[in-house]
Amino acid sequence: MAEINTDKGGGKKHSKKPKGKKMSTRIDLTPMVDLGFLLITFFMLATTLIKPQTMEISMPSKDKVPEEEQSKIKASKAITIILAKDDSIYYYFGTRENDIDPEVIVSNFGPTGIRQVLLDRNASVMAKVAQLRKEKSAKNLTDEDFSKQLSLIKADDQAPIVVIKSTDNGTYKNMVDILDEMNICNIGRYAIVDITAFDKELIQNRKK
């Protein structure tokens, strides 16, 4: 394979002084190229280029908070989303008032499903966020300022509060998808809560 070409080249046969051996220094590089590509193949197979992303969530603390310190949410601002079998979603606004049950509506994960509902409810925040995005590109806000203002907008008192519950038939994908919708729709205040008997009853009544 890699040999050094040692033939003398067409030297003059009849010259008196024997010329010093003319050595060609060209080396055959083919094996090295082979090796290079072999290593490339190895690295392509043994490594990954994509780094997984992560979604940060905060769960409510399980510590008991005294009744008077609990922040009561306004029923008119609350949206309860219940994840059910086969990627279906039930949602209702508010809670039971004067013995009248809130109307439970069926929805889905499509773009016209739950997202549209949340976007409509959260329209004022969405407008502010869009404004902020524009400002960011125009005035070159730093990322730090941007995220600070974004969280201020999201903490708006008038913004809806979403309570996420899942039946035992829900899957992890449903959970991540709904949390993702919270990010897409810029909803700052949401919580994952265990399903209550009241919710189960509402769904039962609806099915009848």
Partner 1 sequence: MCDVAFLLLTFFILTSNMVQVEAVKVAIPSSISEIKILETNIVKILIDPQGKIFYEIDGQEHRMNLLKKMGEQYNVTFTDKELREFSIVPSFGVPMSAMKSYLAIKAEDRSNKENLLGIPCDSTDNQLKYWIGMSLAVNPKILISIKADQSTPFPVIKKVFGTLQDLKQNRFNLITSLEENPIR
Which residues are near partner 1 by CB under 8 A?
29, 32-33, 36-37, 39-40, 43-44, 46-63, 83, 111, 115, 119, 133, 166-177, 179-180, 183-185, 192, 194
Of the two residues 104 and 178, which places its CB atom closer to partner 1 in the complex? Answer: 178
Angle among Cα 20, 23, 28 to the nearest 5 degrees reads 175
Q: Tokens 């009849």, residue?
A: 14
Least Å distance, CB 13 to partner 1, is 37
Locate 45 and state its tokens.
Answer: 């197979």
What is the DSSP annotation of 130-162?
A: HHHHHHHHHHT--HHHHHHHHHHHHT-TTS-EE
Locate 50 and state its tokens.
Answer: 């994509």
Alpha-carbon distance 119 to 79, whole Å?
12
Of the two residues 28 and 103, which places its CB atom closer to partner 1 in the complex? Answer: 28
Closest CA to 106 of 80, 87, 88: 88
Alpha-carbon distance 119 to 187, whole Å?
9
Sign of CA dihedral 135, 141, 145, 151: positive
Alpha-carbon distance 120 to 84, whole Å?
23
Least Å distance, CB 179 to partner 1, is 7
Least Å distance, CB 153 to partner 1, is 15
Of the two residues 24 and 41, which places its CB atom closer to partner 1 in the complex? Answer: 41
Locate 52 and state its tokens.
Answer: 């997984």
Of the two residues 55 and 100, which places its CB atom closer to partner 1 in the complex? Answer: 55
Least Å distance, CB 57 to partner 1, is 6
Least Å distance, CB 146 to partner 1, is 14
Of the two residues 99 and 194, which places its CB atom closer to partner 1 in the complex? Answer: 194
Of the two residues 9 and 110, which places its CB atom closer to partner 1 in the complex? Answer: 110
Least Å distance, CB 145 to partner 1, is 18
